Amino acid sequence: MRDRDAPLTAQDIDTLAWDKMDNLIPATIQDRVSGRVLMLGYMNREALTATLATGLGTFWSRSKQRLWIKGETSGNVLRVAAVHADCDGDAILVLADPAGPTCHLGTMACFGDAASSGPGWLAELSRIVADRASTGSGDSYTRRLLAQGPPRIAQKIGEEGVEVALAGAGSTTEHCAEEVADLLYHVAVLMEARGFGWSEVIAVLRSRHAVAGEKVD
């Protein structure tokens, strides 16, 4: 039996349940970093083979009746990190890094902001910070803060942490949310300055959970 935790390889293609939907399988595309659902497409054997071989999201266009590479005209390709099949082998999950907006309407996802309202948006915050670091103007607070270096960023985190504590002790829920947002923003800036991301933080939490064998205390 195929290990569902292991990504699909070319050798696994013929094990999928192609006969259920006239040799097409629905493919849900998920942002590898943020977890945001980007789009739904369909793949036949040839499209999945090309996706695994090239690392670019390739689909079967039901309207044009041909293969198409996402971003083949716009440049907004999907760089595929891994492909996983579901328990029945009749649907696949594609983990990808989008190079720009995924939707043809110019939005990051075909499902709008509803697909990015959860904690996974912190990864998008980090992308915004990284973008400011490389392309922001001299007036950009983020760019100026990064230029000042980790000691100054750490100082700001300390200040924001105190603000969170004070708000938590006696302010409104709305004010608490605002102060936590300020803190998380500055944490994201520090992560950019030190060269790590939320995935590393989550990996530490998961390892602690695995060691403890129970929820994180």
- Structure confidence by residue, pLDDT tens digits, 154-213: 999 999 999 999 999 999 999 999 999 999 999 999 999 999 988 888 889 888 877 555
Confidence of residue 1 (pLDDT cuts 50, 70, 90): low
Average confidence (pLDDT) over 83-111: 92
pTM of model > 0.75: no
Using one digit for the tens of pLDDT, what is the confidence trace for 112-136? 765 555 567 787 788 889 888 888 7
Q: How far is 187 from 203, CA to CA, in rounded Å?
A: 17
Q: Please report the pLDDT score of residue 57 as a whole number.
A: 97
Sign of the CA dihedral with 172 first, then 175, 181, and 182 last: negative
Q: Is the pLDDT of residue 69 over 90?
A: yes
Query: Looking up tokens 């492909």, which residue turns up?
Result: 83
Domains of the chain: 10-111 (3.10.20.810), 121-212 (1.10.287.1080)
Sign of the CA dihedral with 180 first, then 185, 186, and 188 last: positive
Three-point CA angle 17, 22, 26, nearest 5°: 65
Backbone angles phi, psi at 211, to 5 degrees: -70, -40
Using one digit for the tens of pLDDT, what is the confidence trace for 16-50? 999 998 899 999 999 887 788 899 999 999 999 99
Q: Please report the pLDDT score of residue 23 as a whole number.
A: 94
Check residues 214 and 77 and name the one with the higher pLDDT: 77
Q: How far is 190 from 126, CA to CA, in rounded Å?
A: 10
Q: Is the pLDDT of residue 216 over 50?
A: no
CB burial class (10 A; 0-12, 13-18, 19+) of residue 128?
A: middle
**Most trustworthy range by pLDDT among 3-12, 33-42, 53-62:** 53-62
Q: Please report the pLDDT score of residue 191 as a whole number.
A: 95
